[in-house]
């Protein structure tokens, strides 16, 4: 693994600290409730880097405004995914073409300071997720000599242990966890038996909403026609070591494109639920997570969807999904339709459609503000915008925020957010 520091951590933190007083005043004057980081993949500047637009969300109107020095270079080519640390002090950006993860320190005013760059164990990172203990990175291909775009192989997942920030030092990334079964720092996403040579294409990653802790990766088998979708599920052990849960991988439609975890509450009982969008079939697949001995972590398809299946209708080309951590609602971005579909979540996890709402062209990613869980935004690839909505906490309906949509750099593909006041609750803390 190659590791470099684009500038000293001391310099970064001094620079960030020097802006703290001014940024606090600015944020208060503008009623900033969150900072949203939107990664744009089109190359910009002499280094052919992508860019990261930083927006602040107004707590009263939901209006998004870029901070004065935005955008920032992504410090790599073709950024495709983002995640923030559990303490909201770092932003991790996956740069597909460089096989790198770049860690930025986040200033009090939302400004980004490049701190650390590491190579991913596999080839072409496409999805990342973080909690208090680990950073999870999904690569398009395993790190094998024969794997390339011309000769593809199945993908893999890697785990970087994280050490909590101390004093003036931000969160630290450790060496990737080792999988003794392959004598490498990755876990293959492959099928067994007669299908072991099939090429499995990963698409997204999500983490448990409640304990015990698991990581879930969506993927599809590209060696068959039509494709067959799966969810790979792993328990996470000491140092980030992964163990496949019983019966993994689980069938997941035709071409899963996004995944989100949530909690279904029925009286005093709370159970974990998982939703997977199927871009080919235009629906959402619902699962309950088993907590029974011998099958913990297994995904149990719901039976309250279409014709007694676990399928709930979405729009055309669903591309992203979020579950509100405070209220019983889920939202799906439909890339082909340029809409968001809103759902209510029952006590068993079943989805009931509330309505659909227009976005910019081709929404490919989405998020909910982590401070109040009251604003929802979509990243719109084709018209280079981000759409922002105010979410009704009592009805789940969406109201277009003031002056939405907002311009981004070219070809935005991913977003992450932190609360301005540091009290958000949207990141798993295991």
The verdict on residue 427 lying in a domain is: no
Could you give the number of structural domains in the chain? Answer: 1
Q: What secondary structure letter does DSSP report for 231?
A: E
pLDDT at residue number 9: 43
How many Å apart are CA 201 and CA 190, to the nearest integer?
A: 9
With a pLDDT cut of 70, the percent of the chain lying above it is 91
Say whether pLDDT at 239 is over 50: yes
3-state secondary structure of 122: coil
Say whether pLDDT at 76 is over 60: yes
- Which of 130, 123, 185 lies closest to 158, judged by CA? 185
Give the orientation angle of helix 20-29 with respect to helix 9-18, to 10 degrees: 50
Q: Which domain holds residue 300?
A: 3-419
- Which of 400, 369, 370 lies closest to 385, judged by CA? 400
Say whether pLDDT at 168 is over 90: no
CATH of the domain at 360: 2.130.10.10
The verdict on residue 144 lying in a domain is: yes
For residue 29, give both structure tokens.
Answer: 């004057």
State the pLDDT confidence band at 430, using cuts at 50, 70 and 90. low
Q: How many helices (H) and strands (E) does the chain have?
A: 2, 34
pLDDT at residue number 121: 95
pLDDT at residue number 338: 97
State the pLDDT confidence band at 423, using cuts at 50, 70 and 90. low
pLDDT at residue number 266: 85
For residue 168, give both structure tokens.
Answer: 């003036």
How many Å apart are CA 410 and CA 52, to the nearest integer?
A: 10
The verdict on residue 295 lying in a domain is: yes
- The distance in angstroms from the start CA to the end CA of the chain is 26
E strand or H helix at 20: helix 20-29
User: The tokens 């494709």 sit on which residue?
Assistant: 227
Average pLDDT, the chain: 90
How many Å apart are CA 121 and CA 175, to the nearest integer?
A: 10
The verdict on residue 141 lying in a domain is: yes
The verdict on residue 322 lying in a domain is: yes
Say whether pLDDT at 151 is over 60: yes
How many Å apart are CA 269 and CA 82, to the nearest integer?
A: 33
pLDDT at residue number 341: 98
Q: What pLDDT, in 10s, does the model give residues 243-273?
A: 999 899 999 999 999 999 999 988 888 889 9
Task: Report the pLDDT averaged over residues 40-62.
Answer: 90
With beta carbons less than 8 A apart as the criterion, state whether 33 and 388 touch.
no
The verdict on residue 424 lying in a domain is: no
- Which of 289, 281, 223 lies closest to 256, judged by CA? 281
How many Å apart are CA 257 and CA 234, to the nearest integer?
A: 19
Least confident of 101-115, 160-174, 409-423: 409-423
Say whether pLDDT at 12 is over 90: no
Q: Is 137 left (phi over 0), alpha (psi -120 to 50) or beta?
A: beta
Binning the chain into helix, strand and coil, the percentages to the nearest 5 are 5, 50, 45
The verdict on residue 14 lying in a domain is: yes
Bridge-based pairing of strands 228-236 and 250-251 is antiparallel
Per the model's pLDDT, the better-predicted residue between 386 and 30 turns out to be: 386
State the pLDDT confidence band at 195, using cuts at 50, 70 and 90. very high
With beta carbons less than 8 A apart as the criterion, state whether 377 and 387 touch.
yes
The verdict on residue 78 lying in a domain is: yes
Bridge-based pairing of strands 156-163 and 134-141 is antiparallel
Q: What secondary structure letter does DSSP report for 190?
A: -
pLDDT at residue number 160: 98
């Amino acid at each position: 693994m190659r590791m470099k520091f684009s500038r000293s951590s001391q310099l970064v933190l001094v620079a960030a600290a020097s802006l703290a007083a001014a940024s606090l005043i600015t944020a208060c004057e503008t009623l900033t409730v969150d900072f949203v980081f939107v990664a744009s993949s089109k190359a910009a500047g002499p280094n052919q880097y992508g860019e990261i637009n930083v927006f602040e969300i107004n707590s009263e109107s939901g209006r998004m405004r870029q901070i004065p020095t935005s955008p920032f270079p992504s410090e790599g080519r073709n950024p495709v995914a983002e995640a923030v640390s559990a303490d909201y002090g770092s932003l991790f950006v996956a740069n597909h073409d460089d096989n790198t993860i770049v860690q930025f320190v986040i200033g009090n005013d939302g400004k980004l300071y490049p701190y650390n760059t590491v190579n991913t164990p596999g080839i072409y990172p496409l999805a990342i997720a973080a909690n208090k203990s680990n950073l999870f990175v999904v690569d398009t291909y395993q790190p094998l000599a024969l794997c390339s775009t011309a000769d593809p192989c199945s993908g893999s997942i890697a785990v970087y242990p994280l050490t909590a920030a101390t004093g003036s030092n931000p969160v630290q990334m450790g060496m990737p966890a080792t999988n003794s079964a392959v004598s490498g720092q990755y876990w293959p996403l492959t099928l067994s038996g007669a299908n072991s040579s099939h090429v499995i294409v990963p698409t997204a990653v999500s983490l448990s909403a409640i304990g015990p802790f698991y990581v879930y990766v969506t993927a599809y088998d590209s060696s068959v026609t039509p494709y067959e979708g799966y969810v790979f599920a792993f328990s996470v052990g000491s140092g980030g070591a992964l163990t496949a849960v019983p019966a993994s991988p689980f069938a997941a439609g035709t071409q899963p494109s996004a995944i989100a975890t949530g909690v279904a509450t029925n009286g005093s009982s709370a159970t974990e639920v998982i939703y997977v969008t199927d871009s080919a079939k235009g629906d959402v697949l619902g699962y309950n997570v088993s907590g029974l001995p011998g099958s913990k972590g297994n995904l149990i398809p719901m039976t309250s969807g279409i014709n007694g299946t676990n399928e709930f209708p979405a729009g055309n080309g669903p591309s992203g999904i979020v579950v509100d951590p405070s209220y019983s609602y889920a939202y799906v971005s439909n890339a082909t339709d340029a809409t968001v579909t809103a759902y209510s979540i029952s006590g068993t996890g079943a989805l009931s459609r509330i309505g659909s709402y227009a976005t910019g062209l081709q929404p490919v990613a989405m998020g909910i503000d982590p401070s109040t869980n009251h604003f929802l935004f979509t990243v719109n690839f084709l018209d280079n915008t981000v759409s922002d909505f105010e979410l009704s906490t009592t009805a789940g309906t969406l109201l277009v925020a003031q002056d939405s949509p907002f311009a981004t750099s070219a070809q935005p593909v991913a977003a992450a957010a932190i609360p301005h006041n540091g009290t958000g609750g949207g990141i798993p803390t295991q």
